[in-house]
Every structure is written in C-alpha cells, then in structure tokens.
Amino acid sequence: MSADAIVELKGIGKTYETGVEALREVNHSFPAGKLSTLLGPSGCGKTTLLKIIGGLIPATTGEVLVEGKRVEGPGAERAFVFQDFALLPWATVLRNIAFGLELRGVPKEERFEIARKLIGEVGLVGFESSYPHQLSGGMRQRVGLARALAVDANIILMDEPFSSVDEQTRRKFQEELLDLLRHRQKTVIFVTHSIEEAAYLSDRIVLLSARPGTVSQIIQPNVDRSSESPDEIRRDKNYLDAVDQIWQVLKKYL
Amino acid sequence: MSNSHRTGDRRILWLLLSFLFAFGLWEAAGRWPISVAFSPFSQTFLAMVRMVANGSLLKAYASTVQPLIIGFIICGIVGGGFGIWMGLSRTTEWFSLPFFIILQAAPMAAVIPLVTYIYGIGLTSKVLAVAVLAAPVIVMNSYKGIRNTPPSLIQMCRAFLGTRTQVVVKIILPHAAAMIFTGLRLGLAMGFIGVVIAELLITPTGIGDLISYHSSVADFPEMFAAVASIVLIAAVTIHGLERLERRLFPPEVRGS
Amino acid sequence: MKLFGKKIPLSVSLLFWALVWELVGRFGFSSIFPPLSRVIVVGASILTTEKFIKAVEISLRSFAIGMALALVVGMTLGVLMARVKAVGRTLGTWVNVFVSAPISALVPILMGVLGIGESTVVATVFLFAVFVIILDTQVGIRKADQSLIEMARSFGARRVQIYTKVLILSALPEILAGIRLGAIRGVKGVVIGQLLVSIIGVGELFELYSKHFLMEEFWALVIVVFAFAFLISEGIAYLERRVEYYAGAR
C-alpha cells in the first residue's frame, strides 16, 4: 500500500439483483496525481467499478477509501464525467458548466465567473449562451469536462468520455486532456475500451479480466509525456510496447 | 429571408385550398338530397352571422365557458399536482396508478348522467362533467412526465452532490414541465367534450342547449352554425395551445 | 410497488380498493356507492336478462361496424396523405381540427340526418375513432425508414411490394398506437352516441339506471363497460409490444 495512494479499493465485489456478478475481489491503490486507466473486455465491469468509486452505486462487498475515508456516496473531492454527457438540455452551456457549483450554493456571479474561465480553457468561447442541442457531440463533452473541472475536485472520474465522438476528434481530445491536466494536480481515473487511448494517456493501466471482473494485470507505459510532442508520443517505443503488451493480455478474453 | 417567405406563402395557399375544398364539399353535400336536415355551407354561414348579430351565440358561450374554465383550472391544479405526487412517491403511485390507467381508457362520459341527477342541472354538474373527463389525462401526463426523467440526468445531479430537493426542483420538474403542459392541453380538449355532452343531455343553457333547441324546432342552418362554432372554437384554442407548447418546449430542449 | 421486504405487484392495489369499496358500501357512507359485493351479485343477475343482452349486443355491433369503417377509411387516408403531398396538404388541417374537437357536438347533426337509431351510433363511433387513426398512420408512414425503401427498390421491388413488404410493416408501431387510441375513442363513441340517442344500447341503460338511482345496476354496468374498454386497449397494447422490438432498430 503506497504512501501516496489516494483511492484504495479493498475487496470490492458487486452482484446485481438479477444475480449477475459484475466484480469480484477487486483490490487496488491508485496513486495521487496520476492518470490511471481501467481497461478490459466488454462487460468486465469497469464502468461499474468507476461508479462505485464515485459513490453512485453501492458495492456489495468490500470498501472504497478515498483520502483515507470510507466512501458512502458522492463527495466533493470526486467529480464525474459521463459517457453520454448528461447535460441539462434546457440550460445554456454556461449554466451547465456551473451546475456543480450551483448545487453547492455558490452565488451566481462567482460560479459564472469560474465557468467563463473554463470555457476559455476547453475551447468553447462564443458558445456561452448556446444550448446542448446546438453543439456537436465533441463540444458537449467539453462542457461535461469543464463542469467536472469547475468544482475543483482532487479526483476526476471519467467514464469512456471520448467514446461517443469520431476518431479524429478523439485524438484531439486526448491531447487537450493532457494539456488541461498538466497545470493541475489532479488524480484521474479513466475508463476506456481503447488500447491506444489507454497507452497514450495513462501513467498506469489497470487491466480487468472478463466478468466477473477482477484485477488481471497492471501495466506502466513509462511514456515520457513532458518532453515529447503529442505526435511523437504515438511513435515512442514505450507507447508501442505498452499497446502490444495490453493487446496480448486482452486477446485471451475474446 | 425570401425562402421562408415562399414557404410561408405556400402554406397559406394550401390552407386556402383545403378550406375551399372542405367548404365546397360541404356545400355540395348540403344541396344533394341526402337529407333535409343537412344544411349546406352557405346557409350555415348566414345562420352563424345571424346568430352572432342577435347575440344568441354570445349568450350561449358566456354560459358554456364558465364551467369549462372553472373545471379546467380545478382539474389542472389538483390533477396536475396529484400526477406529480404520483411520480415522486412510489407509495402514491402504487395506490393510484392502476386506477388511472383504467380511467384513461374508460368512457368517463357514462357517469355524466349520474352526476347531473345527483347535482342537478346547474353549474356544479357541468364543472364536474368537465373535471371527470379531463382528470385522467392530466394526471397521467403529469405522472409520466415525472417518471420519464432520464436517470442519467438524475445520477449526474447526485454525482455533483445534489440533494433530493435539488434533484426534484432542478432536474425532474423542468423535465416534466413539457409533458405536464401536454396533459393540460389534452385535458382542455376533453373538457370541451365534457361540457358539450353535459349541455346536450340536460342543462338548458349554453351552446349545447342552443344546438338542441334549434334541432328540435328544425332550424337546421342554425343548428349547424352552433355546432360549427363550438368545433371551431375548440380547434382554435387547442391549436393555439399546441403552438405555445412548441414555443415553450421545443423538442430539442425537451431532452430525452 | 410497495415494499414490505418484497415487491407487491400493482394489481394488488386494485384489490385494496375493492376492499375499500366494500367497506364504504357496508357502512353506508354514501348511497351512491353500494357495497361491491351487492354490485357483483346484482350485476351477475342482470347479465342474463334479455334487456341487458340486447343492449350489449347492439353496442358491440355498433362498435365493431364503426371501428371497421374507421380502420379501413383511416388507414387508407393516412397512407394517401403521407404519400401524396396534395392530399396531405388539403386534408391535413381538417384532420388536425377534428382529432381534438368535441365530436359529441356533431351527434345532433348525425341524429338529424341518420335518425335516432343504430346508424347514428355507428357514425359516432366512426367519427370518434377515424381521425386519430388517420393521424398516426400518416406519421408512421412518413417516418418509415427511407433507406429501407431505397434498399427494396435497389433489389427491384415493385410499388405494391414496397407498400406491403416494407412501408406498412415499418409503420406498424405507429399504426397500432393509432388503432389503440382509436379503439378507446370508439368505446367512448358508443357510450356517448347512445347516451345522446338515449333509446338503445348501454347508453340507454346508463341513463335509465342513473335516473332511477339503481346504483347497484349502474356500477355493475360501469365495471363491465370499463373492463371492456381496458381489455381492448391492453389487447392492442400487447400487439404493439410484440412489434416494438424493431422500432428501435429502424
């Protein structure tokens, strides 16, 4: 158990009412300040695990410790980015970004100020008064990301955030995400089913087995992102090795 | 700009054409010897002008409109409120849902005679007739609006630490507002039906009575005119509400 | 679904209300509501009387004929309006007017033209049901998957085949929804038509029982008619559900 583990999973198991056992004996410690990815075959329970960490679903067995405290539900130190964006269709982009702050009672001027700053960072300048239906899928997810950043939580949980956009937009997002995180001390736990994405973004990759999901292997790509350009990373030997390594493990489950 | 003008003009053109078509058909049907009781468009139109001029139409509506509005407002507030309660409380839902599912399919008009025999031929009966017909659809639509809130939005709200009250006020109610409005619109349509039936059956006032009276003295153009007037008024009102609904709750903003 | 540790199905709540009805009746809280048991007993006894059987027969007949007409005319017009722009534009306004209009106001006209009898009721059922069937059929055909039609054409389908093998089936979910709503309205049409004509069918019986305050008979008839409306609605809803599976994949 490393000293700077910020999220610890101890014996997490999840069985649904229907009898389906999604997760079994999941143990792991996520290091603070790093981006860790949960990766695995379809149905391995990675989204379920993420939602358990987020406090949105209760675990059947085991416990989650965040910053040393047991998780009983959602908390101010964790922010969630949803796969289907989950934006209020009747609210403007500005209000959507500020929504987390609105729920906490932050006064209007203050929260809109924070939202405006983030609009600049995620590249949505000019769309403050637009509605979700006027935005493309990629832009909607920027709103979702900005919303999670607005509440300034230490831990950001991202559930396949880029899976609903096209390949080209997805690549751009990956680069921008690394950019956004560079200046912030955040712990990110990321769920994806894309091997390349995991290798590109992660400091650590947690591979889950097929259902019932459990930790199968941990891979550290050791890609030096600080010195290389985004395109160089994709040709970095460590990146390519990681991709291959992951694929060899996942192949067994197909 | 000019493009939308063209489609706007074309729409008006088609509207005029459909009016011409329908009224032409009506006129022809009236002149054909199907039945002496079928009044052609021209005569009906003249009769309507006469009835507006002599005030009989206005008097009738002054009487009809009261129970319609009173019944609708009561039903809207109580019914809408109850539907919302059903949506938010599983217990209330369990007790009331089967009830209202049956009521929605049932011919509620069957109880109107009973209502009038118990409550007499006054305003109360008419208000009840409106309420009894409008309530099921208003309640069910409010209920469905609440229930159909996308769980993803509720989960998102909870993820950002929203309390139960915040979830209801910021997520569920705004989402349900569109369906509640739809329910009110459909409820008003049912209300029209209720008040007409009540008036045709017993009460000697209002537009229903006007229709019955002219029918009984064989003033067929006048009878047709009265019928056409209520159909027209109901259509215009409901259509107006539909347009309002589309403006307040455009489909993209309604969500799921 | 209440939880006493277990989920109690929704239908049990009806039993609960049946019990309440029984108790209300027994304690005599209101003369309008005799105990449910008496309603059932009286109901069973009138079920075999000739008057009742005749009333039900007439009502069912009017319903069936009116609905059959509404289905044929409604679906045909609906398809025409969706496929032929001119028809759609001309009739569209009127269908929209009449689908939410108080058609009961038209019954006196029907009585004047068709007389005080079954034909008026049949016409009432027809008018109540047809407009929603037209509307929903039209919507269904319009929404029908363009790419399916293109696919059929590319494999050489003739016009008739496109209609029967692709279009109507593709629109079936909407068409069935329209038929279900039409059937519910049709039942209302029978009752309202007969109430206004007042000398035949269940409408006459409702009027009669109300007038003479025969509450047991009244509620028995209410149960029968409401149950009928509900069963028809659920029957068609069942068909809708059978067809629903492909609505998602269109």
- What would the pLDDT profile of B139-169 be if each residue is shown by its tens digit? 999 999 999 999 999 999 999 999 999 999 9
Chains A and C touch (3+ CB pairs under 8 A): no
Tell me how crowded residue A193 is: count the other CB atoms within 10 A of its CB: 17
With CA atoms as reference, the chain B residue closest to A153 would be B160
User: Which of B117, B193, B199, B214 should we substitute to test contact with C (largest number of C Cβ atoms within 10 Å)?
Assistant: B193
The phi-psi region of residue A5 (left if phi > 0; otherwise alpha if psi is between -120 and 50; otherwise beta) is beta
Binary contact (C210, B18; C-beta < 8 A): no
By C-alpha distance, which of C199, C205, C193, C174 is closest to C63? C193
List the structure tokens of A50: 């993420």
In this prediction, residue A1 carries a pLDDT of 40
Nearest by CB: A86 against B156, B161, B252 = B156
* Type of residue at B166: Q
Contact A89 B157 (CB under 8 A): no
Instruction: Return d(Cα C230, Cα C80) in angstroms, integer.
Output: 31
Which residues from C are below 8 Å from B246, CB to CB? Answer: none
How far the first Cα of chain C sits from its last, in Å, is: 33
The tokens for A190 are 């990321």
Contacts of C94 in chain B (CB under 8 A): 18, 22
Q: Within a 10 A sphere around the Cβ of B170, how many other Cβ atoms?
A: 19
Q: Nearest C-alpha of chain B: how many angstroms from A57?
A: 10
Q: What would the 3-class secondary structure string for chain C be? A: CCECCCECCCHHHHHHHHHHHHHHHHCCCCCCCCCHHHHHHHHHHHHCCHHHHHHHHHHHHHHHHHHHHHHHHHHHHHHHHHHCHHHHHHHHHHHHHHHCCCHHHHHHHHHHHHCCCHHHHHHHHHHHHHHHHHHHHHHHHHHCCHHHHHHHHHCCCCHHHHHHHHHHHHCHHHHHHHHHHHHHHHHHHHHHHHHHHCCCHHHHHHHHHHHCCCHHHHHHHHHHHHHHHHHHHHHHHHHHHHHHCCCCCC
Which chain A residues are closer than 8 Å to B159 by Cβ?
Answer: 54-56, 74, 79-80, 82
ipTM: 0.86
Q: Would you state the pLDDT for residue B74?
A: 95
Which residues of B fall within a CB distance of 8 Å from A82? 152, 155-156, 159
Instruction: Kindly state the percentage of chain A with pLDDT values over 70.
Output: 98
Confidence of residue B3 (pLDDT cuts 50, 70, 90): low
Q: Is B20 exposed, middle or buried (0-12, 13-18, 19+ CB in 10 A)?
A: exposed
CB nearest to C105's CB, from B38, B101, B211: B211
Judge whether B154 is closer than 8 Å to chain A, CB to CB: no
The predicted structure's pLDDT at residue A2: 44
Structure tokens at C53: 């059987």
Distance CA C151, CA C157 (A): 9
Tokens of C97: 């007017």
User: Which residues, numbered 111 to 150 in chain B, qualify as contacts with chain C under a Cβ-Cβ cut-off of 8 Å?
Assistant: 111-114, 116-118
CA distance C131 to C82: 14
Tell me, yes or no, if B161 comes closer than 8 A to chain A by beta carbon.
Answer: yes
| A100–B253 C-beta distance less than 8 A | no
CA distance A119 to B15: 47
Contact partners for chain C, using 3 or more CB pairs closer than 8 A, are B
The pLDDT-based confidence of C160 (bands split at 50, 70, 90) is confident
Give the distance, in angstroms, between the CA of residue A219 and the centroid of all CA atoms in the same chain: 17
Residue of B149, B156, B175 best to disrupt the A interface, most CBs of A under 10 A = B156
Phi, psi torsion values for C117, nearest 5 degrees: -170, -160
Question: Hey, is the C-beta of A253 within 8 angstroms of any chain B C-beta?
Answer: no
Task: Search chain C and give the residue with CA nearest B93.
Answer: C1
Rounded mean pLDDT of B122-126?
88
Question: Can you give the length of chain C in residues?
Answer: 250
Q: Which residue of C has its CA nearest to B202?
A: C196
User: Does position C1 have pLDDT exceeding 60, yes or no?
Assistant: no
Nearest chain B residue to C3, by CA: B91
Distance from CA of A147 to the nearest CA of B (A): 9
Considering only CB atoms, B102 lies closest to which of C206, C211, C226, namely C226
pTM: 0.85
d(CA A149, CA A187): 12
Contact call for B160 and A99, based on CB within 8 A: yes
For residue B178, the distance in angstroms to the closest alpha carbon of chain A comes to 11
The rounded distance, in Å, linking the Cα atoms of A146 and C209 is 67
Task: Tell me which residue in C90, C210, C230 faces B114 most closely, judged by beta carbons.
Answer: C210
Query: How far is residue B119's CA from residue B109's CA, in Å, rounded to a whole number?
Result: 16
Residue B33 pLDDT greater than 80, yes or no: no
Q: Is the Cβ–Cβ distance between C172 and C159 less than 8 Å?
A: no
Of B87, B107, B235, B252, nearest in space to B173 by CA: B87
Question: Which residue of chain B is at minimal alpha-carbon distance from A84?
Answer: B152
Q: In what order do the strands lie in the sheet with A204-208?
A: A78-81, A155-159, A187-192, A35-39, A204-208, A215-219
Check CB contact under 8 Å for C196 and B200: yes
Counted residue by residue, chain A has a size of: 254
Type of residue numbered A139? M
- Strand partners for A37: A190, A205
pLDDT tens-place values along chain A, 254 residues long = 444 788 999 999 999 888 888 899 999 999 998 999 999 887 788 999 999 999 998 999 999 999 888 988 898 899 999 988 899 988 999 999 999 999 988 999 999 999 999 999 999 999 999 999 899 888 999 999 999 999 999 999 999 998 888 888 888 889 889 888 888 889 999 999 889 899 999 999 999 888 888 888 888 888 877 777 778 888 888 888 888 888 888 888 76
A166 Cα distance to chain centroid = 18
Nearest C-alpha neighbor of C105 from the set B197, B62, B36, B239: B197
Q: Which of B160, B252, B256 should be substituted to probe chain A, the one whose Cβ sees the most A Cβ atoms within 10 Å?
A: B160
**DSSP conformation class of A80:** E
Q: Which of A73, A74, A90 is opposite residue B253, by nearest beta carbon?
A: A90
Smallest Cα distance from C128 to chain B, Å: 11
How close, in Å, is residue A226 to chain B by CA atoms?
Answer: 32
- Residue B187 contacts C where some CB pair is shorter than 8 Å: no
The DSSP code sequence of A162-198 is TTTS-HHHHHHHHHHHHHHHHTS--EEEEEES-HHHH
Q: Model confidence over C167-188: pLDDT tens digits?
A: 888 888 899 999 999 999 999 9
- Mutation target vs A (from B149, B161, B168; most A CBs, 10 A cutoff): B161
Which of the given ranges, A224-228, B183-187, B197-201, has the highest pLDDT on average? B183-187
pLDDT (tens digit per residue) in A138-188: 899 999 999 999 999 999 999 999 888 888 888 888 988 988 888 888 999
Instruction: Give pLDDT tens digits for C98-146.
Output: 998 899 999 988 888 888 888 999 999 999 999 999 999 999 988 877 7
Closest Cβ–Cβ partner in B106, B117, B208 for C226: B106
Name which of A73, A74, A97, A94 is nearest A85 in CA terms. A97
Pairs of residues, one from chain B and one from chain C, whose beta carbons lie less than 8 Å apart: 157
Judge: B118–C184 Cβ closer than 8 Å, yes or no.
no
Residues 6+ apart with CB under 8 A from B108: B132, B133, B136, C188
Q: What is the pLDDT of residues C193-207, one digit of tens each?
A: 998 887 788 888 888
- Whole-angstrom distance, CA of residue B190 vs CA of residue B108: 10
pLDDT, one tens digit per residue, over C43-98 is 888 888 888 888 999 999 999 999 999 999 999 999 999 888 888 888 888 898 89
Touching A (3+ Cβ pairs <8 A), the chains are B
Q: Which residue of B has its CA nearest to A144?
A: B156
Nearest residue to B178 via CA among B148, B151, B154, B145:
B145
- Count of residues for chain B? 256
Find, among A29, A26, A27, A28, the residue nearest to A3 by Cα: A29
Give C11's contacts in chain B (Cβ within 8 Å): 98
- CB contact (8 A) between residue B253 and residue A79: no
% of chain C with per-residue pLDDT over 90 = 34
Q: Which of C159, C136, C142 is nearest to C250 (CA)?
A: C142
One DSSP character per residue, B41-83 reads: HHHHHHHHHHHHHTTHHHHHHHHHHHHHHHHHHHIIIIIHHHH
Whether the CB of A218 is below 8 Å from some CB of chain B: the reply is no
Cβ-defined contact of B212 to C108 (cutoff 8 Å): yes
C-beta separation of B146 from B87 below 8 A: yes
Nearest to C148 by CA among C129, C160, C165, C136: C165
- C204-223 burial, b at 16+ Cβ within 10 Å, e below that, comes to bbbbbbbeeebbbbbbbbbe
Inter-chain CB proximity B107 and C190 less than 8 Å: yes
What is the least distance, in Å, from the CA of C132 to any CA of chain B?
13
Which pLDDT does position B256 carry in this prediction? 46
- C209-240 per-position pLDDT tens digit: 888 888 888 999 999 899 999 999 999 999 98
